[in-house]
Structure 1
């Protein structure tokens, strides 16, 4: 994927100077083209034998008109098809949802605004299985596999494409100053030592307050499982709230020179403001959950305990859709399979609108800028999608 966002601070100039771009659907041109061909066919059918077209040039013109109409129809394979789309509650997924919606609209699909249906994964997947939605673009794998399996939806829905492939890290960060002063390199150093854990106590109960994950997110249960698996219930307390509030609280404590212990994923604004290796470090784990065992390729200045095991496998971000929707809409399925959005671009989206504090207009504008900047690749995806319809 090239330079990863956690290895450097991203710069806004990557998207600077791009202009907003609208995307006409050409619906009316398509309808008039079809109507024109239909009128020709009716006239031909109603004529007598003497009216039959025998001139080769006239016949060629009719063939050309038919071909043009067929081509026009194939440009909009989703014409007349409504698509119900949701999006996740984490702001780092807002722009991606807007991008996918716009691209589906370019194929002629009528797509609901995902901003009106913001759900946590534990609520979304059952709703997807019940047919309330056709898709969302915020699937995290393998993290969300259990949510789909536990809801009994393995034969009903499936992930498709690889929006971001193995480009998402999750784990626990602490401030570098506290880490170096107390020789902390692993979460075990905190969970196995009451005195060290007390350094991160924010509510005076003697336990380290781990700023964690929203209720209903896949990471919420996984963090609880990590604590239970390692017997850290007496030393580490998982604090659950909205991620924006937890990020803001930890950032404030860092700025006051206080210790922080924060669950983080990338790409996210947290690691752009507090940079691993400079302001914070990743904590390794000695005893991750069996399904989450894996070494992450991070340098020692970012993750001092080598080999670095964050306790979470690197994740793919993928679209999740109903199987019946994909089968009935091959053009949409092909598009969802092809779209890729670099992780660094997702981070830049989040920085552009400060984690969702701005309006939906800002989200749509960021999506439009990305589409304009990647027009050549997008046209290739759209043409390939049209070719299978």
Structure 2
């Protein structure tokens, strides 16, 4: 019923007049969504601000788990998300209606990475470069935090999609007897990992970019990315080559991905201005990392994030204005 009401509003909102002053989004409310990670709100609010320049009203982003988020987009209860991982979220996308009910648009942030890291001090001391070396009990025991002789990996939240790849890797590389995949709320797990690092203990964790951890533990300085012995991913990700999972000369085991906008197909077909905005908007990964660091340092209230968004737009005003201009032209 909610979907019907939304699309009824969209239909009414798209009734145009002869007035050249009409904005394409007048009378239309847009509902965005992201996961429970507060760090995903920054890029969402930048897009919301651009939508408002086009006349749309926007709601505060809903926080939804996967795959519920994609189901909501497919059903029309949510209009878009700014954190669609192109390859990692393929199964969520397809199971929620695929291209018949959703659309993947633009490239918000290219070349986003995932993989396994350890602290550089331990890596240098024991000459560790590969996940495969964890088959060695002496290596695994270095990262044992609960006394069972197995390495404890700070892993991925259940439901995110990355946990499925990690579980697949443990089987594919024969690491079940060497590594325990610690799952739960990632923010709490990584906080404990940071405490161990500050105490000088070895750390072993899954991470991704963009995320604040890369600004605190910089690869090549405080940490290293681990290589995997060969590319082996769940079949849902399709045909994947070693080149697809290699970054900076290392096979990280995860596809070098891109973040796109996933939107309700009926919504974007009825709103060419919004569709064009989704197509042209792009936010550099370094800018997202920098803002995520501010959140980690305590600037995590709604007014803080609003200020971060305003400051980013002011620093990139010409680019921001070009998005809005292109969206207006698409509508006309």
Other-structure match for 2:21 = 72
Q: Could you tell me which of 321, 328, 341 is aligned with 2:263?
A: 321
Q: In the alignment, what sits opposite 1:260?
A: 203
Q: Does 1:282 align with 2:225?
A: yes
Work out the CA distance in 2 between the residues paired with 1:122 and 1:237. 25
In structure 1, runs of 5+ residues without a counterpart are 1-33, 39-68, 299-306
3-state SS of paired residue (1:324): helix
Instruction: Tell me how large the CA RMSD over aligned residues is.
Output: 1.9
User: Contact 2:32–2:80 at 8 Å: present in 1 too?
Assistant: yes
Change (3 A) 1:248 1:293: same
Q: Distance in 2 between matches of 1:236 and 1:356?
A: 33
**1:129 aligned residue (52, 55, 74):** 74
**Larger Rg over CA atoms:** 1
1:10-33 alpha-carbon deviations (Å, 9 max, x no partner): xxxxxxxxxxxxxxxxxxxxxxxx
Residue 130 (structure 1) shift? 2.1
Give, in angstroms, the shift of residue 128 of structure 1. Answer: 1.6
Corresponding position: 1:145 with 2:90: yes
Which of 121, 146, 161 lines up with 1:177 in the alignment? 121
Q: Counterpart in 1 of 2:246?
A: 296
Contact conserved, 1:201 with 1:208, CA < 8 A, in 2?
Answer: yes
Residue 130 (structure 2) aligned to one of 175, 186, 193: 186
What pairs with 1:200-215 in structure 2 (closer than 5 Å)? 200-215=143-158
- Indicate which of 254, 277, 280 corresponds to 1:312: 254
Determine which of 173, 180, 187 is the counterpart of 1:237: 180
Q: Is 2:36 the counterpart of 1:89?
A: yes
Change (3 A) 1:92 1:315: farther
Report the Cα offset of residue 296 of structure 1.
3.0
**Partner residue in 2 for 1:163:** 108
Q: Which residue of 2 aligns with 1:99?
A: 46
Structure 2 residues without counterparts, runs of 5 or longer:
1-15, 234-239
| Alignment match, 2:141 | 198
Are the equivalent residues in 2 in contact too, given 1:269–1:355 (CA < 8 A)?
A: no
**Aligned residue pairs: how many?**
309
Preserved contact between residue 88 and residue 94 of structure 1 (Cα < 8 Å): no
Tell me, in whole angstroms, the C-alpha distance in 2 between the residues paired with 1:297 and 1:284: 10
Aligned-partner Cα distance in 2 for 1:376–1:200:
48
Whole-Å Cα distance in 1 between the matches of residues 285 and 73 of structure 2? 26
Partners of 1:201 and 1:292 in 2: CA distance: 32
TM-score (norm 1): 0.76
Corresponding residue for residue 316 of structure 2 = 374
- Match in the other structure for 2:60: 113
What displacement does 1:243 show? 2.2
* Worse overlay, 349-358 or 90-99: 349-358
